[in-house]
Structure 1
Amino acid sequence: MFAAAKCDVGKLRKTNQDSVYCSMEPVGDLPNLFIVADGMGGHLAGEHASSEAVQFFVQEVAEKSFKEDSIVKLLREGVESANRYVYKLSKQSSAWTGMGTTFVAAVIMEDTLFCVNVGDSRLYLVQADGQGGVGLKKLTIDHSVVEELVQKGEITEEEARVHPQKNVITRAVGIEEQVSVDAFEIPLTGILRVLLCSDGLSNMVEDTELLRLLGTTVPSSQDEIEGLAEQLIDRANGNGGYDNISVILIDLWKEGAQHA
């Protein structure tokens, strides 16, 4: 398994409010840990929210064991604790009022992927389709105004990409004292790659283009997966780079191909 994390300010923003965490080494009892957080708020508040949420979450899960409880429960409770922490911080300074952050985290253990998310940062799966081809699946569901409209059938996915409210999220870490966290636990059968990203990538690079980039090259080294992650950043910037861009790319091609 190879993994690469890249975070770029983009072409228009002056500050970077995204935070990423990528560890192939154990974090407490967890064998690995991958996080993307996209902060929001006033000047520097978004950067503070995302970095504080990530740091607190990592410390929280590192100090607890999942041996008696499930990994999903550990991750969900970690996000809930980080939410309370960021919410309390937001009350300590007027400069931090209303700050918050999206949050998507993943752990890969043996033959299972565990994921939690809040907001519109995403986790994608590149997976074998059983017929010799490769497909792209968005595992997480955006907590956003446009996603709710899509789910109701009021707008299409294509219309959502250009909707004037596409950046309005309905759930975030730190905005309220409590937060609802989505959680997923899925087998790795047929999964070739895992992509975590902020909307600075997903808004700038369409799914068809993501699949073209991720579904045709088979990395055989850490350098190659690093290069592929950099290509994603370059493509987002090439398409406008309107926002900060964060990418964590995890390559499971060999492992996934054995089960395809």
Structure 2
Amino acid sequence: MTEIGRPTTAHTIPLGDGRDVVLDWAGATDVGLRRAHNEDSYLARSPLFVVADGMGGHSAGDVASDAVVRRLDEAIDGEFFDTEALEEALRLASDDIDVAAIGTELGVGTTVTGAVLSREGDAPYFTIFNVGDSRVYMLDSGVLRQVTVDHSVVQEMVQAGMLHPDDAEKHPDSNVITKAIGFGAEPSPDYWRVPARPGLRLLICSDGLTKELSASALAAALVTHPGTQDAADSLVRDAVAAGGRDNVTAVVVDVRGTVEAVDVESTVPTGQTPRA
């Protein structure tokens, strides 16, 4: 388990012409009640907010998730980040993981998901990315929406109409993912774009959170706790209390500065709603 970054409030990023983006963020993680080791890692340091959930046994999973957040942290060079730098860092992490996997029977890998502060001209936005079944949610005007789409067997069944979304977490293949960083695969994230508007709150989390808490419970915690650290702590604590079957990690990011209306269009799928 690797934690990079400290809880931060009022981090100000000048855009020029007197305009700023002001961010708050915090992260929390817990081993849960049934695992001996925490294989989750997170990075919470502007402009990168990332959660990785390692797989392959306690030592190997730790190495995989650690490699991702460390390579991304090393790649930070300024207040904004782009997909080219992201993918290069993930390729380096994949190489690190392949070395760690030598001699293992089942291979080593990790999910990774996150929000990257980016810029198009003078317009700030978050590039949301995902590989695996960790997730990013957005709370905007009191409405919670799931931004990412899981790379998992059950998600493919849901999209094919073979499984109702409410039954996905109870399916015996609910832990089987179809994409990861590692296992000899080339990193290939999916991307979405969300304007960095004041009032926006992002939740980046491992599946240890979403397997224990429903969408309504996530929304309630995010609405009830205005501070990012309080919100992250509450989510993790509630997930552990609800069963804690896996490691649990949550990173919460707020846009609370005054920024003029941006021209960047959101690419979050219309109607994308969170699953329990």
TM range (shorter): 0.7 to 0.9
Correspondence for 2:72? 57
**TM-score, normalised to structure 2's length?**
0.78
For 2:32 and 2:201, the matched residues in 1 are separated by: 24
What's the CA shift for 1:88?
Answer: 3.3
Q: 1:157 to 1:200 in 2, by over 3 A?
A: same
**Structure 1 residue runs of 4+, over 6 Å off?**
256-259
Correspondence for 1:47? 62
For 2:201 and 2:71, the matched residues in 1 are separated by: 27
Structure 2 spans left out of the alignment, 5+ residues = 1-22, 263-276
Q: 1:191 to 1:140 in 2, by over 3 A?
A: farther
* Contact preservation (8 Å) 1:76, 1:183: no
Correspondence for 2:12? none
Structure with the larger strand share: 2
Q: 1:99 to 1:168 in 2, by over 3 A?
A: same
Which residue, 229, 248, 251 being the options, matches 1:248? 251
Alignment length (residue pairs): 236
For 1:214 and 1:258, the matched residues in 2 are separated by: 24
What's the CA shift for 1:48?
Answer: 1.2
Correspondence for 2:268? none
Q: 1:74 to 1:235 in 2, by over 3 A?
A: same
* Contact preservation (8 Å) 1:43, 1:95: no
For 1:173 and 1:234, the matched residues in 2 are separated by: 28
**TM-score, normalised to structure 1's length?**
0.82
* Contact preservation (8 Å) 2:38, 2:58: no
Q: Kindly report which structure 2 residues correspond to 1:16-55, keeping only aligned pairs within 5 A, or say none.
A: 16-24=38-46, 32-55=47-70
Which residue, 96, 114, 133 being the options, matches 1:105? 114
SS of residue in 1 equivalent to 2:253: strand
Correspondence for 2:206? 198
Structure with the larger helix share: 1
Q: Output the aligned Cα RMSD.
A: 2.5
Which residue, 124, 127, 146 being the options, matches 1:114? 127
For 1:256 and 1:147, the matched residues in 2 are separated by: 36
Structure 1 spans left out of the alignment, 5+ residues = 25-31, 129-133
Percent identical: 35
Q: What amino acid maps onto 1:57 in structure 2?
A: L
Correspondence for 1:210? 218
For 1:202 and 1:101, the matched residues in 2 are separated by: 17
